[in-house]
């Protein structure tokens, strides 16, 4: 009986984690490793497809500059090429044993586009949360129909599921508000 609430809670937490990861890829005009960590690179003459984070250490030297230090200096050119081909708008420059990326400042228009994108991502997350709620409510109704729970238990479980849904959506809104503030800060 409590299982349906715990399952819903776990699924909603997964939605939040996915949205957090998704939002971290939205550029704020400030250098963060998450902007390039998950770019897939054809490494070692195309014999391996690996993410930047698996091939190099990514760090921030100042608010506008990312430094990528390959673990294996022989693939520095392949990492450079992979970042250029990813079409994220960065121009990496090889500087000795590391790659330097200067993050350009965002125009006000681009900031507004990114705020819109963040809102779309959040709405997708809210839809997923509502879907989890719907599945949990259907499961509770089925348990009532199967006479495995009483009507009082049904009402209590439905309230718990609704509270969980409301809390999760509030957390998503909070994430969105924080990301929007980052985007609009100059």
- Check whether residue 40 and residue 81 sit in a common domain: yes
Per-residue model confidence as pLDDT tens digits over 109-133: 888 888 898 999 999 999 999 999 9
- Check whether residue 52 and residue 74 sit in a common domain: yes
Structure tokens of 92? 């990496």
Domain extent at residue 73:
33-102
Asked if pLDDT for residue 186 goes beyond 70, the answer is: no
Which pLDDT band holds residue 182 (cuts at 50, 70, 90)? confident
- Check whether residue 117 and residue 78 sit in a common domain: no
- Check whether residue 45 and residue 77 sit in a common domain: yes
Structure tokens of 105? 């400042």
Residue 148: give its domain's CATH number: 1.10.132.20
Lookup result for tokens 């479980």: 157
CA-nearest of 8, 25, 47, 40 to 167 is 8
- How is residue 29 annotated by DSSP? S
- Check whether residue 11 and residue 61 sit in a common domain: no
Judged by DSSP in three states, 45 sits in coil
- Check whether residue 116 and residue 170 sit in a common domain: yes
175 contacts 19 by C-beta, under 8 angstroms: yes
pLDDT, averaged across the chain: 88
Mean pLDDT of 156-163: 94
Q: Is the pTM of this model over 0.85?
A: no
């Amino acid at each position: 009986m409590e299982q349906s609430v715990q399952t819903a809670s776990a699924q909603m937490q997964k939605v939040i984690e996915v949205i957090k990861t998704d939002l971290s890829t939205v550029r704020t005009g400030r250098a963060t490793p998450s902007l390039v960590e998950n770019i897939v690179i054809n490494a070692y003459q195309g014999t391996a497809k690996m993410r930047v984070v698996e091939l190099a250490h990514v760090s921030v030297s100042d608010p506008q500059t990312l430094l990528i230090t390959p673990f294996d200096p022989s693939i520095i050119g392949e990492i450079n090429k992979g970042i250029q081909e990813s079409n994220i708008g960065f121009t990496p420059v090889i500087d000795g044993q590391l790659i330097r990326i200067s993050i350009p400042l965002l125009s006000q228009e681009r900031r507004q586009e990114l705020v819109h994108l963040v809102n779309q991502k959040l709405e997708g997350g809210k839809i997923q949360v509502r879907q989890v709620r719907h599945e949990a409510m259907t499961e509770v109704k089925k348990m009532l129909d199967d006479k495995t729970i009483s009507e009082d238990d049904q009402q209590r479980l439905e309230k718990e599921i609704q509270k969980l849904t409301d809390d999760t959506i509030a957390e998503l809104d909070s994430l969105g508000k924080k990301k929007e503030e980052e985007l609009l800060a100059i």
